[in-house]
Structure 1
Amino acid sequence: MSPWNQASSPYNKSPWITPSPLNRLLDERNLPERGLVGSLVREEGHIYSLAVCGDLLYTGSDSKNIRVWKNLKEFTGFKSNSGLVKTIVITGDRIFTGHQDGKIRVWKVSQKKPSQHKRVGSLPMFKDFIRSSMNPKNYVEVRRRRNVVRIRHFDAVSCMSLNEELGILYSGSWDKTFKVWRIADSKCLESTLLKQENAVTALAVNQSEAIVYCGSSDGNVNYWEREKHLSHGGVLRGHKLAVLCLVAAGNLVFSGSADKNICVWRREVGQGGSHTCLSVLTGHLGPVKCLTVEEDHSSSEDKTDQKWIVYSGSLDRSVKVWRVSEQAPDLRELRQMILSEKDASSRRAGPE
């Protein structure tokens, strides 16, 4: 039974505060054209994962709990026994959570009571793991004198991403692998051990272009283009520290890093798959640990300019909400944005 449903639960007292009129802003869609539109701040603990589904926002923290917010007001939650919740993805009525202990859990939302969540399985399924472990050919060497079953992560599941059209889930881990799962039957289709010294820390999929983006602890974002098989397409270099999260939307991909910044990249269609860094979103005071995005359906005079609402979670205990355009800002607008950010930082700092 979820602790959120118990009258005596300690979760009844929310550890979150809302310093800005964010609910009113989102309800009225009275948002600025670009930049930060509001934030939630957590008084205790850190935010490690985010996912959006309609008007619901799922957050995972350094506890074993997943909290669910409706219109940015606390709605419900559920608890896992698999350790810290490092990544969350949602498809249909199922939620996938990746954990510090290397496990991927599968949850289902009750149709009768949307506030209730029940665990319905894991990746890989136990029977598949047992069957695979009986065949010596299914073991791979991940460290000297350390062999493991190829279909299961043996270190923290740091990231996941979905290709809903193909019904495929990608997962990446500190064990330097990323795996491809078929959602329909929970089968592991591929397990690729990357030829690199750095842990896989973030994954994102551009569904329309069949591109997989992979962030690593060296601050780079590699990407693979998939036709029949994955082939390396290039590297995006924009961060000084580890890339901790990635999300793709339209022609854009967003990368959050331990350097506290969010890079906004645009894939240039018809230019050999090259990418341009449109902007860098600054404002978090700690590493940016998680990102999620939804299409901005508010009215716009320019129908050719696709806009997105981006949610970012940080180890500074805050969630920030941004509005981002696929069109690059002109130099005058960019200069004004920088001056506004500096002015806001000065006001927050106050007199010495």
Structure 2
Amino acid sequence: MKPKISIIVPIYNVEKYLSRCLDSLLLQSFKDFEIIAINDGSTDSSGCILDEYAKRHNEIIAIHKKNNGVSSARNDGLQKATGTYIGFVDPDDWIDENMYQVLYQTAEKEQADIVMCSYIREFGTHSKEKIFEVADNRKYVNEELKTNILRRLIGPIEKEVSNPEYLDAWGTVWSKLYKSELIKENKLEFVDLNEIGSNEDTLFNIQVFYHATSFVFLNQPLYHYWRMNETSVTSKYNQKLVHQFGTLYTKMEIFLQEKELKGVFQTALTNRISINTLGLGLNTISIGNKSSIIKKIIELNHILKSKHIKRSLNQFDMQHCPIVWKTFFFFAKKRIALGLFMMLTSIEFLRKTVR
């Protein structure tokens, strides 16, 4: 018998967190599932921990491979998955015991292609729920799904640009349950992070939501997103990120052209690229970048002059931004790298001290 849900867990050097993650999956109230855990060439004891769990629990399918990145690991999981639905969990995170019960029952009741729940950010000393200003059990179908959720995945518009940290709040794969046939029939896969640097979740979701006809959002925080993993790909300095984001933007532009998505979709992408100035800037000033302050400011100047960023900032409408972000984007638009550096330094300090 095929399981109702296949849960895909990509694993790389998470020996401190893996047991917590797997225990939370095994203790679910929903029991008809398989866990496809892919050890992506870990150099710590993650592989051994996984094998011990697989010996004791028939639900776990352990796969070991050479390191090739999270996208490759997830794609291997998709190939192996046999469930009616597919979910993703990152190996340093955990879930509430009723998460998949709630997502599955909602998907079946509403005949939804995709169901999403909200989540809690875990900082070790405290927790903070990600707030979505959407009613619980909100269903989107057909054109409304495209103009609201697909468009939001591509980028924010109007008042949505007022909080840049919500840029990819909708784009995660680990807060969702997908109908398996939606992914497999359309041959959808994750793009290698070596190509695009980040946002592989969002790019995958853009493709999935384009083919979906129904989606339900549950404003219930059932997933726990661990923010303290220093080995996470989101916590390191990436020297190639500007070039990789250029590739990401080109892929999104090609997608919009091929699907003939114009108008508000184009505006959304322009806004995404403009707001990504924040992420690119924080990457540049990060402690992992050992360059001098002068060289970091020069690097920021190069970012502001890059093709996609320069063009998008020229079109970016700041009217809905609060004063702090208006100041930030003023420096970015005018390519005042020193002012941008000072603001980024302040933002990074606040991110670490006020969570």
Query: Shorter-chain-normalised TM-score: which range?
Result: under 0.3
Normalised to the residue count of structure 2, the TM-score between the two structures is: 0.24
Normalised to the residue count of structure 1, the TM-score between the two structures is: 0.24
Query: Which of the two has greater helix per residue?
Result: 2
The structure, 1 or 2, with the larger RCO (C-alpha pairs under 8 Å, 6+ apart) is 2
